[in-house]
Amino acid sequence: MTNEELWRAALGEIELSISKANFVTWFKNTSITNNSSGKVIISVPNGFAKEWLENKYNIYILKALRNLQPDIKEISCIINTPKEAPTDSSPNPNETDESPATQEKTDSPAIHSQTITGRNHSETNLNSRYTFDNYVVGEHNELAKAACYAVSKDLGTAFNPLFIYGGVGLGKTHLMQSIGNEVYKKNPDLNIKYVTSERFATALIESLGNQTISDFKNYYQKIDLLIIDDIQFLSGKEKTQHEFFHIFNALYQLNKQIVISSDRPPSAISTLEDRLKSRFEGGMIADIGRPDLETRMAILRNKAAEKNFFVEDDAIRFIAESIVTNVRELEGALNRIIAHAQLQNKMADMTFVQQLLSEMVTSKRNTHLSFDHILKIISDFYNITPEQIIGKGRKKEIVVPRQLFMYLLRTELELSYPSIGDKIGGRDHTTVLHAYEKMNNQLSQDSKLKEELEILKEKIYSK
Ligand code: ADP
Ligand code: MG
């Protein structure tokens, strides 16, 4: 197989595993320039594509290549100027303006420059469903809610930047968008933009490809309220961070409001540029924890009422007691109960809820828990590859995630020590036992590690 054939076949597979917009953005004008002794070198058009391919898409690429040629062990990217890159290697030569990928790009400022000054609601990217009014406040989110509310009343001065962090499904997106909706309601003329950090990066690279980077920067620098969700995805993507830093600074100096969210505090985002970290730390940082039982019940009552549906009080309590991980899960369970009750024309009483929930819990455990699933969560979280986790490397950045992985295989999958050893690169069962005991011990002393384990568990059970 020639390099070209190999890459074309691999792209065919990669295309199936990621969204079309991402595929076109990151894999356009790429090719294999070298393939020898298990190492494949991929030529990419710029440093952004290099970062994203090496960090985020690394696993997909390796998997696709290995399916075709099992001895491939690693990949790396080199930057090639567009002129030198082969012109026929576009991943999708049939791309037309009508394609879904292009439609998905409609919120890209770079492409629709005519809408840059337009301020219609769709351009803000806000979902009007998320408001302060329907956000239930408890001890777990009191501070975050107060900070967000203050910001919505006093843009750019109260707390700037405002950094909100907390685990999956605990209400970060809801709260941040509430700021946007509140500000929009009072002052629709302001430029408000909600964007995920991934979407931000994709738009950035598109603008590079179209040579509209200055439009892109201009667009962002005119924003009055910029809400960036899930900033942890920029971890390790230095060039993207660099551009973000400049936009951030420009806005900050003009007293424009910036709100950022992440699944962990700035200090725990391992490869975040120091100057970004200290910028974030210079503003207001508020966390969102897990809601307590009373708050979970209040959220359920609230959501049921929104849907004009009555659930008996002991059933509400039962749901709230059964689902403790996060609010998204709680809401999912409630929606399912409502749908089934309506379908079967039944009351959502204790018996009904108990039965439905027990079915849900078992099917969830079976479908979501697997070795690969946990491996992927750890790999994404610590920004290291699955190969590194399973491999022999002894650096601390790899050893701790590896030991946590073994620990989780034991506690969550209930695998035996020998079988964990077998699965992780043929290690002896005593090594696994040692890792397990060490983690167990450390978790009782090290609160940061404990927090990380909680986040990992949340991710494991919520995907
Ligand atoms: P995150 O961004 O932290 O992952 P989301 O904001 O997407 O979480 O919240 C997940 C779901 O839970 C959303 O539907 C949101 O409306 C709901 N939710 C979370 N916290 C609350 C709350 N305190 N009150 C009402 N709904 C909430
Ligand atoms: Mg979110």
For 154-203, how does the pLDDT look when each residue is reduced to its tens digit (9 = 90+)?
999 888 999 999 988 999 999 999 999 999 999 999 999 999 998 898 88
Kindly give the distance from the C-alpha atom of residue 441 to the centroid of ligand 2, in angstroms, as a whole number: 32
Could you tell me if residue 57 is left (phi over 0), alpha (psi between -120 and 50 degrees) or otherwise beta? alpha
- Environment of ion ligand 2 (residues, CB < 5 A): 172-173
* Cα–ligand 1 centroid distance for 322 (angstroms): 18
Nearest-angstrom CA–CA distance, 262 and 287: 10
Give me the mean pLDDT over the 413-438 stretch.
Answer: 88
pLDDT at position 112 over 60 = no
CB 173 near ligand 1, within 6 Å = yes
First vs last C-alpha separation in the chain: 37
Ligand 1: centre distance to CA 446 (Å): 29
* Residue to substitute in 231, 328, 330, 458 for testing ligand 1 pocket (most ligand atoms within 8 angstroms of CB): 328
What per-residue confidence (pLDDT) applies to 88?
41
For the cut 70, the answer to whether the pLDDT of residue 103 exceeds it is: no
* Mean pLDDT confidence for 127-145: 94
Which of 131, 174, 261, 301 most suits a substitution to test ligand 1, by most atoms within 8 Å of the C-beta? 174
| Least confident span in 10-24, 42-56, 152-166, 191-205 | 10-24
Residues 6+ apart with CB under 8 A from 174: 130, 135
Ligand 1 atom 23 nearest Cα: 136
pLDDT in tens, 274-295: 888 888 888 889 999 999 999 9
Cα 172 to middle of ligand 2, angstroms: 5
Model pTM score: 0.66
Residue 121 has what pLDDT?
52
Bridge partners, residue 225, by sequence: 192, 257
Q: Shortest CA distance to 109 belongs to which of 225, 203, 244, 226? A: 203
Q: What is the pLDDT of residue 122?
A: 64
pLDDT tens per residue across span 299-330: 999 999 998 999 999 999 999 998 888 899 89
- CA proximity to 131, closest of 173, 184, 174: 174
Whether 83 has a pLDDT exceeding 90, the answer reads: no
Nearest one of 173, 174, 196, 177 to 185, comparing CA atoms: 177
pLDDT for res 225: 97
Burial of 284 (C-beta count, 10 Å sphere; 0-12/13-18/19+):
buried
- The better pLDDT of the pair 7, 98 is held by 7
> How much is the pLDDT for 417?
85
Q: 198: CA distance to ligand 1 center in Å?
A: 20
Is 238 touching ligand 1 by the criterion CB < 6 Å? no
- Amino acid 163: pLDDT: 95
Calpha distance 103→26 (Å, rounded): 17
User: How much is the pLDDT for 362?
Assistant: 59
Chain-centre distance of CA 424, in angstroms?
Answer: 26
Ligand 1 proximity of 202 Cβ (cutoff 6 Å): no
User: 3-class secondary structure for the chain?
Assistant: CCHHHHHHHHHHHHHHHCCHHHHHHHHCCCEEEEEECCEEEEEECCHHHHHHHHHCCHHHHHHHHHHHCCCCCEEEEEECCCCCCCHHHCCCCCCCCCCHHHHHHHHCCCCCHHHCCCCCHHHHCCCCCCCCCCCCCCCCCHHHHHHHHHHHHCCCCCCCCEEEEECCCCCHHHHHHHHHHHHHHHCCCCCEEEEEHHHHHHHHHHHHHCCCHHHHHHHHHCCCEEEEECHHHHCCCHHHHHHHHHHHHHHHHCCCEEEEEECCCHHHCCCCCHHHHHHHHCCEEEEECCCCHHHHHHHHHHHHHHCCCCECHHHHHHHHHHCCCCHHHHHHHHHHHHHHHHHHCCCECHHHHHHHHHHHHHHHHHHHCCHHHHHHHHHHHHCCCHHHHHCCCCCHHHHHHHHHHHHHHHHCCCCCHHHHHHHCCCCCHHHHHHHHHHHHHHHCCCHHHHHHHHHHHHHHHHC
- What is the residue-averaged pLDDT of the chain? 85
Band of residue 20 on the pLDDT scale cut at 50, 70, 90: confident
Looking at residue 209, what is its pLDDT? 83
Q: State the pLDDT at residue 295.
A: 97
More reliable by pLDDT, 407 or 114? 407
Cα 431 to the chain's mean position, in Å? Answer: 32
**Ligand 1 pocket test: which of 327, 330, 335 has the largest number of ligand atoms within 8 Å of its C-beta?**
327
Residue type at position 40: V
User: Would you say the CB of residue 167 lies under 6 angstroms from ligand 1?
Assistant: no
Spacing, Cα 58 to ligand 1 middle (Å):
31
Q: Per-residue pLDDT for 338 more than 50?
A: yes
Question: What single letter denotes the amino acid at residue 258?
Answer: I
pLDDT at 110 over 60: no
* Amino acid 358: pLDDT: 83
Q: Which residues contact 313 (CB under 8 A, 6 or more apart)?
A: none
Spatial separation of the C-alpha atoms in residues 165 and 183, rounded to whole Å: 21
Which residues make beta-bridge pairs with 182?
none
170 CA to centre of ligand 1 in angstroms: 5
Asked whether 225 and 257 are in contact (CB, 8 A), the reply is yes
* Half-sphere exposure in the Cβ direction for 100 (13 Å, CA): 5
Tell me the pLDDT band of 94, cut-offs 50, 70 and 90: very low
- Measured from the Cα of 177, ligand 1's closest atom is 6
| Residue 281 CA to ligand 2 centre (angstroms) | 21
Any ligand 1 atom below 6 A from CB of 197: no
Instruction: Tell me, using a 6 A CB cutoff, whether residue 326 lines ligand 1.
Output: no
